[in-house]
Amino acid sequence: MEKPFIYVTRKVPEEALLPLMEIGEVEMWPHEMEPIPREILIEKAKTATALYTMLSDKIDEKLLDQSPNLKVVSNMAVGFDNINIQAATEKGVVVCNTPDVLTDTTADLTFGLLMATARRIVEGAEYIKAGNWKNWAPMLLAGTDIHHKTLGIIGMGRIGAAVAKRAKGFDMEILYHNRTHNSDAEKELGATYVSFQHLLERSDFVVCLAPLTEKTKEMFDIEAFKQMKNSSIFINASRGGLVNEDDLIIALSSKEIAAAGLDVFREEPISNDHPLLGFSNVVALPHIGSASVETRQEMAKLASRNIIDVLSGKKPEATVN
Ligand code: DGY
């Protein structure tokens, strides 16, 4: 019997692909930093049985329509807003993702970004490297405290709960807003469910961890920023599309909010002349929430296992449709 053609859209750790090589004909886009051009992805998908994809690959109806053999799209990410789930489901294509293995790593980075923004860690590092440190001074690079403050989490899923767990160690009050109540987070972490508006008004730190959907798109607009305290800090470690970036720029310029820590952007990568990078009170990172060596290896392996499960007729560990 002919082996299934499995196309991997980015150079991933070879070890993760070995099990795939046992069951199929595996071909990989050979570059790590450079995403596969759309025309090549469409061409490869035409004969592929499985696509092993990244969050930067757009898997839309047009691509799915031209991929008659496709059985599974395995995204090496927990987010899947790059994939048209409805179209995939209608065509009988299973869509898989990589939850759980990245929860703690992403929560670590999210909390680290919150700390870096509040305590001006990046500014301090740049200051000393630029040779500006002449003297200790009482208010030099004074930031804001984290402990005993109020943290508002938008999106209390696995990563949200893991961030709340870290915040508990800092004696923070934890508020959250979510599609549904998370009774475990309420019981175990003392998190309190509140409305979006209440969360914005009360929180010292607003952390966005909700998935990008039609409903959450640009939920952080000027109205939302205006409801936040002028002293509050906005953190986004989910998807840039949840934020109206023009409004965020206005909110920062007009001091509606005090600072922002951003791991994600509407268009990625952003250019280094992007207006958000011009603010000294913005800490910007290149979408590295889950980027530890251990976690990226686990994500790469889970993405492979998901393909193997689907192609061998088993229920995959993580499917989204
Ligand atoms: C995800 O998995 O969706 C993150 O954004 C990248 O790891």
- Residue ranges per structural domain of the chain: 5-101+294-311, 103-284
Distance CA 277, CA 233 (A): 16
Q: What ipTM does this complex have?
A: 0.96
289 CA to centre of ligand 1 in angstroms: 7
Pairing of strands 72-75, 94-96: parallel
| CATH number, domain 5-101+294-311 | 3.40.50.720
Q: Please state the atom number of ligand 1 nearest to the C-alpha of residue 79.
A: 3
Helix (H, G, I), strand (E, B) or coil at 180: coil
**Which among 279, 277, 242 has a CA at the least distance from the CA of 259?**
279
What digits encode the pLDDT tens for the residues 87-143? 999 999 999 999 999 999 999 999 999 999 999 999 999 999 999 999 999 999 999
Identical fold, 5-101+294-311 and 103-284: yes
- Tokens describing residue 110: 């999210």
Rounded to the nearest integer, the mean pLDDT of the chain is 98
CATH class of 103-284: alpha beta
pLDDT tops 90 at residue 2: no
Nearest alpha-carbon partner for 108 in 163, 181, 44: 163
Q: What percent of the chain shows pLDDT beyond 90?
A: 99
Sheet holding 192-193, edge to edge: 192-193, 173-177, 150-154, 205-208, 233-236, 259-262, 282-284
Is the pTM here over 0.95, yes or no?
A: yes
Which position among 239, 245, 296, 305 bears the catalytic label?
239
To the query of whether residue 305 is one of the catalytic residues in this protein, the response is no
In the residue annotation, 268 being an active-site residue is answered as yes
The 10s digit of each residue's pLDDT in 237-293 is 999 999 999 999 999 999 999 999 999 999 999 999 999 999 999 999 999 999 999
